[in-house]
């Protein structure tokens, strides 16, 4: 569980409303709306919620997942995996950055998201998030399924490393050089733990989101 305490005038945008376990406040302080089409595709959801303070929001976390709140400044240049974003506070904006065709095929993700503050970003990760500094010369190798965010100006190359036996039995890694730091999750996510990490048919998602009690009866 994670609790968000909102003061008067503050607001948070929740991209997975089903994770809201409890809300303490007036009913009219919650407004649900359709996501924009690109967000629908990347989050595999149709609806997002905007909750206005003052109030408290209790968020449920899937088993083995952790919530990390990352403060954002206007000049931050980190690119994030959008699927990890659980919420962002009012005032945060974001832009998209296309990946190369090769990187898209390997990671199954066409775009990365750059968020701009001031504000906070709530990330859902498999285990506590970890920061690691980059070096301009000595590369850092990170499993593609564990990288959550990296600086926009960093240089990335998909690769394997080590001797022949190591390279033949490992997942693809990012070879990263540059300045700043990366954010990583220490565990490889299991898609069975949380339905937002796995594919689902568009018709089933629409039915769950739109029909009354669809999330209860349609699995």
Domain boundaries, the chain: 1-126, 128-208
**CA–CA dist 184, 99 (Å, integer):** 19
Residue 170: its pLDDT value, please?
85
List, for residues 188-211, the tens digit of each pLDDT value: 654 544 455 444 555 666 666 666
Q: Residue 178 pLDDT more than 50? A: yes
Q: What is the mean pLDDT of residues 56-65?
A: 88
Q: What is the mean pLDDT of residues 124-146?
A: 92
Residue 145: its pLDDT value, please?
86
Residue 193: its pLDDT value, please?
42
Which 3 state secondary structure label does DSSP give 138? Answer: coil
Reading the block at residue 98, the tokens are: 């296309």
**CA–CA dist 109, 14 (Å, integer):** 21
Residue 41's pLDDT band (cuts 50, 70, 90): very low
Element (H, E) at 209: helix 202-210
Nearest to 57, CA basis, from 101, 119, 103, 10: 10
């Amino acid at each position: 569980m994670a609790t968000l305490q909102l003061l008067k005038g503050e607001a948070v945008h929740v991209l997975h409303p089903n994770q809201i376990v409890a809300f303490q406040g007036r009913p009219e302080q919650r407004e649900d709306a359709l996501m924009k089409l690109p967000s629908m595709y990347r989050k595999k959801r149709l609806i997002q919620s905007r909750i206005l303070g003052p109030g408290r929001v209790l968020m449920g976390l899937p088993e083995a997942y952790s919530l990390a709140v990352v403060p954002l400044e206007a000049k931050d240049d980190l690119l994030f995996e959008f699927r990890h974003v659980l919420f962002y506070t009012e005032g945060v904006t974001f832009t998209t950055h296309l990946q190369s065709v090769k990187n898209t095929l390997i990671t199954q993700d066409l775009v990365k998201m750059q968020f701009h503050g001031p504000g906070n970003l709530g990330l859902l990760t498999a285990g506590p998030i970890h920061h690691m500094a980059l070096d301009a010369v000595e590369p850092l190798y990170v499993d593609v399924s564990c990288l959550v965010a990296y600086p926009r100006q960093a240089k990335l190359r998909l690769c394997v490393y080590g001797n022949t036996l190591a390279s033949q039995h490992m997942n693809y890694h990012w070879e990263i050089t540059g300045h700043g730091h990366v954010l990583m999750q220490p565990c490889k996510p299991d898609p069975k733990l949380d339905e937002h990490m796995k594919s689902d048919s568009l018709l089933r998602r629409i039915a769950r989101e739109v029909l009354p009690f669809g999330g209860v009866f349609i699995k």
